[in-house]
Structure 1
Amino acid sequence: MDDRTLAPYAASDATSRGRRHPEPPPQYRSEYQRDRDRIIHSTAFRRLEYKTQVFVNHEGDLFRTRLTHSLEVAQIARSIARVLHLNEDLTEAIALAHDMGHTPFGHAGQDALNTCMADYGGFEHNLQSLRVVDELERRYASFDGLNLTFETREGILKHCNLRIAYTLGDVGERFIHKREPGLEAQLTNLADEIAYNNHDVDDGLRAGLITLEQLLDTRLFRRQYDAVNREHPALDAKRLRHEIIRRMINELVGDLVNTSRARIEAASPKSPDEVRLQAEALIGFSPQMRADSLELKRFLREHLYRHERVRHMTGKAAELIRRLFTAYLEDIALLPPEHQQEVSRRAESHGQAGRARAVADYIAGMTDRFAIAEHARLFHPETLT
């Protein structure tokens, strides 16, 4: 994008901390456009189309996947970045990459893989997204990974414990020194929250797992429900649902923009590095909107994510992940040849922990339907005849 439209505290090519492996600058794109394009062309990004958000991929064609979620986050985040004169290209790159390390079967898959990896350093999808872009994508002749800019990698790594932060070099430093990331990273983190809360309401209602009546107990939903019914008292159920959710997103975005703009003006940072030195994040909701958003999040956790049908699915998914992990760890001959080589290489350099990490990398990269097919191949081969 044109740097002349950017605020002084926005990220730009001129202030970028660069890439781990130096490269000539792009000729017709900005550095962050190059990041975005590498993300979109990556294998891990394409796989997001068949990875669960809440509902397993084959349960319905209209439910969100990790891919459609990432696109919604990018759309919301870019809109806010434009208003605040932040770097839209960087914001989009972070949004598109933030879930690239997610397992199949959503958080159930992550939790199961974390349990399997308990003795080997654990598993966390946020860290895995960084591993994907730093190491696991193998596309370029001169380096492993996508060799993204520091700023994109900083935005991908939303949280990290101190023990791991010390092993991550430049992107781990802010956790060690208790600093904030750049504004584009702060913004994308909250755009992620806006997107998943609202589209999970939409998917939950369409699936019949939650009802409008239940949601009326949440302030954010109730305000828009009442407003829509005053203006359009005879609206059909489908349009009512969409209109409420559209207005909820608009209210959240408006509050985020106004609150963040006021905080930025008060702090008056002159550069991205001054943003990182602030005592707290500058991008955020007002206290009341933060409370309303958390109320909606708690509602979804209690009534949707813990719903009997969802728990039944996630229980089966977790057991599937555990069985795959155990089988591969015990016998790497069950893996494709190139992954057998990777497991052997990691085991030689890092022992059993390296062997387990390579197995976890393989499973985390699976789509829902590939994991289901692999489980059938290993444990129910009769179903494949």
Structure 2
Amino acid sequence: QLAGVQLWHEVHAAVRGRFPDAAPQRLKYQTISALIGIFIDDLTTETSRRIAACGITSVDDLRRVNTMVAGFSDELTRKNRELKLFLLENLYHHYKVERMRVKAERYLANLFQTYAAYPTLLPVKYLKKMELFGRERVICDYIAGMTDRFALDEYKRLFEPYERV
């Protein structure tokens, strides 16, 4: 399906030309890597062009300019818009992604509610921070610092009766 998206098609074709014998999975990863490189190159080139066009030579000049200085070229912006729309319609709102999002939301909400109701379940260093920053802020920061794996393990420790504490 992605082959119908102009930016993906162009980059994927170039990658296939460089790696004609590569497996499909490898081609996909190489295409993504090439896309990232294209975005970085375009952003730096276009931003440099805009800086020169605006005559910016200092931070003060930048502050005075009433226009967006950092950004992609018009061509890449257009192509990227098509890619984003495709991803929004076909990936981000895919039912399996939505299921995982809802599941993650439930897990995180349960962790937050439990820590809010029983703050002593948090490590001591976070309890000490509560006086200074407030309960909700500290709990949010604690959860935000969790890896996916740690959050799932913590959920099990808190809610599954046979899980070791």
Q: TM-score, normalised by structure 2?
A: 0.82
1:373 pairs with 2:160: no
1:314 pairs with 2:94: no
User: Are the structure 2 counterparts of residues 361 and 230 from structure 1 closer, same or farther at C-alpha, using a change threshold of 3 Å?
Assistant: closer
Letter in 1 for 2:114: A
Q: Structure 1 CA distance, aligned partners of 2:28 and 2:102?
A: 30
Q: Any idea what SS the aligned residue of 2:81 has?
A: helix
User: Are the structure 2 counterparts of residues 294 and 379 from structure 1 closer, same or farther at C-alpha, using a change threshold of 3 Å?
Assistant: same
Q: Any idea what SS the aligned residue of 2:4 has?
A: coil
Counterpart of 1:6?
none
User: Are the structure 2 counterparts of residues 222 and 329 from structure 1 closer, same or farther at C-alpha, using a change threshold of 3 Å?
Assistant: same
Instruction: Spell out the pairing of 1:56-135 with structure 2 (5 A cutoff).
Output: none
Q: Hey, which of these two has a bigger chunk of helix by percent? A: 2
Q: Please list the CA deviations of residues 97-138 of structure 1 after superposition, one character each: whole Å capped at 9, or x if unmatched.
A: xxxxxxxxxxxxxxxxxxxxxxxxxxxxxxxxxxxxxxxxxx
Q: Structure 1 CA distance, aligned partners of 2:100 and 2:29?
A: 26
Q: 2:43 aligns with which of 243, 256, 265?
A: 256
Cα offset for 1:239?
4.0
Counterpart of 2:139?
359
Q: Please list the CA deviations of residues 115-172 of structure 1 after superposition, one character each: whole Å capped at 9, or x if unmatched.
A: xxxxxxxxxxxxxxxxxxxxxxxxxxxxxxxxxxxxxxxxxxxxxxxxxxxxxxxxxx
Q: Any idea what SS the aligned residue of 1:327 has?
A: helix
Q: Structure 1 CA distance, aligned partners of 2:112 and 2:48?
A: 47
Q: 2:28 aligns with which of 227, 241, 247?
A: 241
Q: Structure 1 CA distance, aligned partners of 2:106 and 2:86?
A: 26
Q: Structure 2 CA distance, aligned partners of 1:223 and 1:236?
A: 18
Structure scoring higher RCO (CA < 8 A, sep ≥ 6) equals 1
Cα offset for 1:235?
4.5
Counterpart of 1:275?
62
Q: Percent identity?
A: 36
Q: Structure 2 CA distance, aligned partners of 1:371 and 1:238?
A: 29
Counterpart of 1:330?
117
- The structure with the largest alpha-carbon Rg is 2
Cα offset for 1:231?
6.4
Q: 1:288 aligns with which of 75, 100, 106?
A: 75
Q: Structure 1 CA distance, aligned partners of 2:111 and 2:97?
A: 21
Paired residues, number: 165
Cα offset for 1:247?
3.5
> For structure 2, which runs of at least 5 residues remain unmatched after alignment?
none
Counterpart of 1:340?
127
Letter in 2 for 1:364: A
Cα offset for 1:245?
3.0
Instruction: Spell out the pairing of 1:163-174 with structure 2 (5 A cutoff).
Output: none
User: What CA RMSD, in Å, does the superposition of the two structures yield over aligned residues?
Assistant: 2.5
Instruction: Spell out the pairing of 1:157-236 with structure 2 (5 A cutoff).
Output: 214-229=1-16, 235-236=22-23
Letter in 2 for 1:340: L
Cα offset for 1:221?
0.5
1:297 pairs with 2:98: no
User: Are the structure 2 counterparts of residues 365 and 258 from structure 1 closer, same or farther at C-alpha, using a change threshold of 3 Å?
Assistant: closer
Q: TM-score, normalised by structure 1?
A: 0.39
Letter in 1 for 2:157: R
Q: Structure 1 CA distance, aligned partners of 2:22 and 2:122?
A: 54
User: Are the structure 2 counterparts of residues 274 and 325 from structure 1 closer, same or farther at C-alpha, using a change threshold of 3 Å?
Assistant: same
Cα offset for 1:229?
4.6
> For structure 1, which runs of at least 5 residues remain unmatched after alignment?
1-213
